[in-house]
Structure 1
Amino acid sequence: MPNLKSLFVTRLYHAALSEQKPSIDPTELEASCYSIAEDDEAGQTWCEENGYPGYTSYASLTDLPWRFPIFGDLVKALDAHVAAFSEDLEFDLEDRALTLEDIWINILPEGGTHSSHIHPHSVISGTTYVAMPDGASALKLEDPRSARMMAAPARKKDAREELRTFVYAKPVVGDVLLWESWLRHEVPMNMSEDDRISVSFNYGWA
């Protein structure tokens, strides 16, 4: 019998944010995201000038945890999730923890997309989900080997998940997804009439 095993595995962490403390009220977090977006004129301008659908604070606000207590609590919970994922990845951190580099709000309206990208210079990236109405897009993750498989046949439609070229992670409100920052990903078109709201972040190793 042949000996088959998976090598160089890509890990995806998917958990409820509430599994780590402090607890975050999703309704309060959603209201805070809208309030920040409404007041952030620099962020609104950046989105308009760069053709970004909806709103992101990525290019305008760098101190959400300092400005808003709920984001400070959110980071404490995320720190614990990232520590758990780091342990699963068996990183040798030499007694140093991964620390938050940046955190930002995304409000994606109907028809909005976020094209395929990676997060350079970070170790772990992720998103926690604040509003996911019916029809809101999943997170699309791409096999990191795809650029090296020019002559490979297409996978069967019912191929095992770990063998697919693309995997769609379908979070619900209150979930957190984590992945290594080199993993290419995108947000397909939001087919809902309501906003898809998330908070994304990067962690690095100082």
Structure 2
Amino acid sequence: MTSEGTKARHSEVVDLFSIPMLVTPPFHPPVAELAYLQGLPTVPNRGGGRVSEDTEILRSPALARTAGFVDDQLEIFAREVAGLSADTRLVVTQSWLNLAGPGARHHTHRHPNSIVSGVLYLQGDPAPTRIFREAGASMFGAMEPRLEVINRFNRGVVDVENAASRLILFPSNLLHEVAEYPGTATRMTIAFNTFFVGRLGRNRKLTALDVHAGAA
């Protein structure tokens, strides 16, 4: 109850430092591009899946529409999410096809030598990509209290559902994994890494660096 003439006040919880993940509208590759992907030679991967021998598949003219979509979304991330200057871009470095059958999984890992990583889900039954909060990065530091309610402030893991035809972009330093695949249809994804191209830093701060496409 509030006294006369006094308005009730409610506390506000504010995010101090947020970690972004971009989730795109559905993208449906042309039939010819899907057929090209399905015909790529693959080799066994850690966890029981398979990965394409070619680790630069988005450079192929046969995947021009898919590569164009990825580039467009990276531009959105660079400008609207990361706020990069106009003379700095995010470009795809390596890109590869992942295939997972029943029981396959992808170990917990992060992507070194990359700024933003992406996964384009093409087909398969639900099998979320699990993204972890860094150890010690929670509000409790190294402490592990018992929690009554899990919310966005205290959770240590986020499961991102792999809706078909959807692309996600996230910082490459985040630990992530794909749990054991429970589906029957082969799970097919394109994964890729990126790096800066353009001008980084500032001359007066002695941090200037020019990164060219050939270097990335």
Gaps of 5+ in 1: none
Q: Which moved more, 1:80-89 or 1:168-177?
A: 80-89
Q: Residue 54 of structure 1 corresponds to which residue in structure 2?
A: 49
- Alpha-carbon shift at residue 103 of structure 1 (Å): 0.8
Q: Deviations over 1:50-84 (max 9, x none)?
A: 64412102xx3134234451x22211111111111
Q: Which has the higher contact order (CA 8 A, sep 6+)?
A: 1
Q: 2:91 — aligned with what?
A: 99
Structure 2: tracts of 5 or more residues without a match: 1-9, 198-216
Which residue does 2:73 correspond to in 1? 81
Measured on the aligned residues, the alpha-carbon RMSD in Å equals 2.3
Native 8 Å contact 1:17 1:128 kept in 2? no
Q: CA deviation at 1:143?
A: 1.2
Contact 1:140 1:185 in 2 (8 A): yes
Relative distance call for 1:61 and 1:154 in structure 2 (3 A) is farther
Alpha-carbon distance between aligned partners in 2 of 1:8 and 1:147, rounded to the nearest angstrom: 11
TM-score by length of 2: 0.76
Partner Cα distance (1:16, 1:73) in 2: 15
Is the contact between residue 97 and residue 205 of structure 1 (CA under 8 Å) also seen in structure 2?
yes
Q: In the alignment, residue 23 of structure 2 is paired with which amino acid?
A: H
Q: Which has a greater percent of helix?
A: 1
1:161/1:167 contact within 8 Å kept: no
Name the aligned partner's letter for residue 119 of structure 1. Answer: H
The 5-angstrom pairing of residues 123-202 of structure 1 reads 123-133=115-125, 136-146=126-136, 149-156=141-148, 158-202=149-193
> What amino acid is the match of 1:13?
L
Q: Count residues with an aligned counterpart.
A: 186
> Which residue of structure 1 lines up, in the alignment, with residue 22 of structure 2?
13
- Distance in 2 between the 1:29 and 1:183 partners? 30
Q: Distance in 2 between matches of 1:191 and 1:68?
A: 34
User: Taking structure 1 as reference, are residues 66 and 125 closer, same or farther at Cα in structure 2, changes over 3 Å only?
Assistant: closer
For 1:55 and 1:94, locate their aligned partners in 2 and report how far apart those are by CA, in whole Å. Answer: 38
Q: State the one-letter code of the partner of 1:56.
A: V
Which runs of at least 4 in structure 1 moved beyond 6 Å after TM superposition? none
Which residue type is aligned with residue 31 of structure 1?
Answer: A
Evaluate the alpha carbon distance shift between residue 95 and residue 154 of structure 1 in structure 2; reply closer, same or farther with a 3 A threshold. farther
Contact 1:102 1:203 in 2 (8 A): yes
CA distance in 1, matches of 2:61, 2:102: 27
C-alpha change, 1:145 and 1:54, in structure 2 (3 Å) is closer
CA, structure 1 residues 77+162, in 2 after alignment: closer, same or farther (shift >3 Å)?
farther
TM-score, structure 1 length as denominator? Answer: 0.79
